[in-house]
Amino acid sequence: MTEETRKPRVAIYKFSSCSGCQQSLLNAEPYLGEIIGAIDFVYFIEAQQHNQPGPYDLALVEGSISRSEEIEAVKELRRQSKVLISVGACANYGGPQALRNWESLDYLKNVSYDDPKYVDALDWTTGIDAYIPVDYKIFGCGPEPDQLVEVLTNFLQGRPPTLARSSVCIECKMAGNVCLLVAGGLNCLGPVTNAGCGAACPSMKRGCYGCFGPMEAANCFALAKTLERLGNSAEEIVRLFRQENSNAPAFREVALAYAQRRRMAA
């Protein structure tokens, strides 16, 4: 088989995470037959028993870097991969694991484990781009199956991913939803959250909680002022921005500012 005729070697890797992003790909059932016919999944522990080392034409990576052993592992994966894409909140920003960044690691280990000296954890949980360059990012906790199909299809066609970079508000308008923030007075991070979910929560009359992370040029401080006018305390605003994307810079900065305000008022 020549280089021109062989199927691309694709790896699906994970670090510290719940495997939900990989499950999103497996949930793309209507397309999996065609995808498997065009791609050679040579490493995909979630879905197969026999896996192969690199090099890879494409690596999709979920999971945060939370343990010391993961640093060299992700660097080696980068060396073995022509194109590497971070997938989901954990791989991009540290995910729920990054919530421990806002407390003392020693304190958390002592209150969580009977014998904390055996716990191998980094002082700071991050996305993978803190240690390696990433070619593209797919957002979400987890991403929609259609997004992953889009990425793989574009890869086969030699094109970069074409994913939404607007806010969830655009998706709400397209769905015909009444604004929960302005008209309903409900907490909603839609104005600063990257689109991609199809406005899933607002369509069910629940405010967006930011699972796709901040959109480009998100003005989180302006939204925080609006949330204050709705009656939220500094502590409540910190909680709104400290969820699965708490380590995303735009969310992190506004949460840190309001956490400081909370401490000064105490």
Give the DSSP letter string of 166-204: SBHHHHHHHHTPPPTTTTT-----GGGBBS-S-STTGGG
pLDDT of residue 1 exceeding 60, the answer is no
pLDDT value of position 266: 67
Q: What is the pTM of this model?
A: 0.92
DSSP structural state of residue 43? E
Q: How many CA atoms does the CB half-sphere of 126 hold within 13 Å?
A: 13
DSSP, collapsed to helix, strand or coil, labels residue 20 as helix
DSSP structural state of residue 243? S
Q: What are phi and psi of 191, to 5 degrees?
A: -60, -20
Note the pLDDT tens digit of each residue in 179-215. Answer: 999 999 999 999 999 999 999 999 999 999 999 999 9
Which token pair is 41? 């999944």
Note the pLDDT tens digit of each residue in 24-34. Answer: 999 998 888 88
pLDDT of residue 116 exceeding 70, the answer is yes
DSSP structural state of residue 83? E
* Position 118 confidence tier, pLDDT thresholds 50, 70, 90: confident
> Domain 9-156: which topology?
Rossmann fold (3.40.50)
**Dist. CA 195–CA 235, nearest whole Å:** 26
pLDDT value of position 4: 60
Q: Specify the domain boundaries for CATH 3.40.50.700 within the chain.
A: 9-156
pLDDT value of position 262: 80
pLDDT value of position 2: 55
Average pLDDT score, the chain: 94
